[in-house]
Every structure is written in structure tokens, then in C-alpha cells.
A = this chain, B = another copy of it.
Amino acid sequence: MPNLLALDAGGTSTRAVVLDRSGTCLGYGRSGHGNPTATPDLAPISIREAAAAALRSGQLPGSAIELSMGAVAGGRDAEHVVGEALLGAGIDAPCELASDVLALFTSGAAEQHGYALVAGTGAAAVRVADGEIVATADGLGWLLGDAGSGFWIGREVALAAVADLDGGPSTGLTRLALEALEVTADLDEIGDEGRPVALEDLGDRVYAMPPVRLSRLAPAAFALKNDAVASDILQRAREALVATLRRVTVDDVDGPIVLGGTLLSRQQSFSDAVRHSLASSDDGRDVRVVDDGLVGAATLALRAAGITVDAATHDTVRSTLAALSSP
């Protein structure tokens, strides 16, 4: 019986699953950084390793795969990268690519209509109709958008620390940001030109790293309880994310709202507050949270192979994958 391989390649980790045509997952593999735009050197290796591990775990040769489906972050032009990486794992079958956001939506929904809101390092919302993304809001990257994302929160943490060191509102974020950036200068030490040494050092550290790495500072905002500046940052992030979703919601497309990405799947109270905002306005819409896009990529693989995926099949994918991938 021929099998399918599905991939979910993200900035932090890459996951792969081998499944049969009934939706039963047979093997699972996981590796590191898989975004071909952010980490062009590592992504092909990660994709090959995850696919090879999924085959090993399912005790199947590469020749058992009839079709692969890759959901790849930042992968507008990733066909070649993914194809070569899968060849490296011994898989010489047709390979299709899907948007990582569509895969994430499909992880949470057997339905082919609805919405997804993703907030990880970046942030975007989409409307899905007839199984395709028909409208997108934000997802414009750290310099032009991604409002409410991990980068956005991290940059706000940096700006709050800068303001504090420059005579603005005091916040516990300053200490956490300086620690995260390994700035050790004493907060009272004043350098040249009337400026705290810690502020000059913070600037030097920030400009020495790729800007998108400011997302490293986001955990500081989540770590503090009862800090007015941190609470305000998180509230503005939630409002921005809800506003991004609003820009794609329309009355005549029903279906669930699927939430995903680190901020919405791992930060429980943040995610709960977003759900609460949505519940109080998007009356009656079903809001679901997913960990990643792998169930969705597997579902899209089944559909690409001509198989109709109903709620029962979707549930088979979900439960058999959970059994394989749980620690």
C-alpha cells in the first residue's frame, strides 16, 4: 500500500510524518531549523533528517512514498530545496508545497472554510475558502508588519528598556532585557555625553545581532507579573493580533478560527485572553488552538493524493500522530 510523507518546516524545528492512505500515521521524525529563507544552510539538512527519521520510525524505505507535501515557512520558492532534501532521504516521488499558514489552519480544521491567526516570530491572519487561502492580513515581516508577534513584543521590550534607561517609566523589563543581552554595566554608571553606559551597551548588542533576533526579548514580557509596562505591551500585542484577524473575517465565510504559533499555543494566559476577545465578538465561531501544522500538512497530503478527508479521517491523523510524537 503506497504511503505519503508530510513535512512542517518552521523556523525553530522541522517535523515529518509518514502516513497511509487511511490517514493512519506510521512514522514520525523531528529535527532543527527548517526555514529556507532564515536559515538557508540548515533548512535542507533539517528537512532531510526529519524525513529520514520519519521513514526509519515507520520502518519504511523511501520508495514506499508516493507523494510528499511540504508546509514550509518562508518557502515562497522552496520547491527545489525541499525536493533535493527529500531525494537525500531516498524519496523520489512528486512533491507539493503548501503555505505553512494553510497547513496550520488544516491542523485544526477538517472543514475547508474558516480562519487562521498565527503568532510566532511573525504574525498573520488568513481567510480560507474551498480549501484555499483567499485573503491575508499582515504577515509582512518584522520591518513592515508582524504586529503583535514575538519580534514585535521583543522590540517593545527593548524600547521599554531604552526608555527606562533614558529617564522614562521604570519597568522590570529593563533588568531582564539587559540580562538577555548580557549587558553587565551598572545601571547608575554614566558614560560620555550624559548617557548611562548600560544604554550604550544595550544599543551595541542590539545592532550587533540580526534585527529579527529581538524576538529573544519577548519572554521577558511574559515572565513579569504586575509590571504595568509589560502588561501594556502584551495587551497591545493582543489587540494588534485581534485587529489583524478582523481584517480577514467576513460574514459569508463561516467555519472555525484556528490559533497557532508559539505565542498562541504555548503562552497559555496570552492565548486565553485572545480567545476571550474573540469569543466576546465573533459570536458563535468555534476557536481552536493547534501546536503546529503537521496534522494539516498530512491532511493536505491526503487531499493531494485524491483522498477526501472528513472529520473522522482528520481525527485518525490527529490521534495516530499524537501517539507517535508524544514523548
A contact residues vs B (CB 8 Å cutoff): 99, 126-127, 133-137, 140-141, 143-145, 155, 158-159, 162, 166-167, 192-195, 199, 203, 206-207, 211, 214, 247
Contact = CB atoms under 8 A, between A and B. Distances in A.
Contacts of A159: 144
Number of copies of this protein chain within its complex: 2
Contact of A137 (B127, B143, B166, B214): B166
Contact of A158 (B99, B127, B137, B144): B144
A195 B143 contact: no
Given A206-B143, A206-B144, A135 B211 contact: no
Contact of A203 (B141, B167, B194): B141
A136 B136 CA distance: 42
Which 4 pairs show the lowest CB-CB distances between chains A and B? A135-B194, A133-B193, A136-B193, A134-B194
Given A126-B193, A194-B135, A162 B143 contact: no
B136 A194 contact: yes
Most chain B C-beta atoms within 10 Å of own C-beta, residue among A127, A144, A203: A144
A162 B133 contact: no
Contacts of A144: 158-159, 162, 203, 206
Contacts of A199: 140
A145 B206 CA distance: 12
Contact of A247 (B137, B158, B167): B167
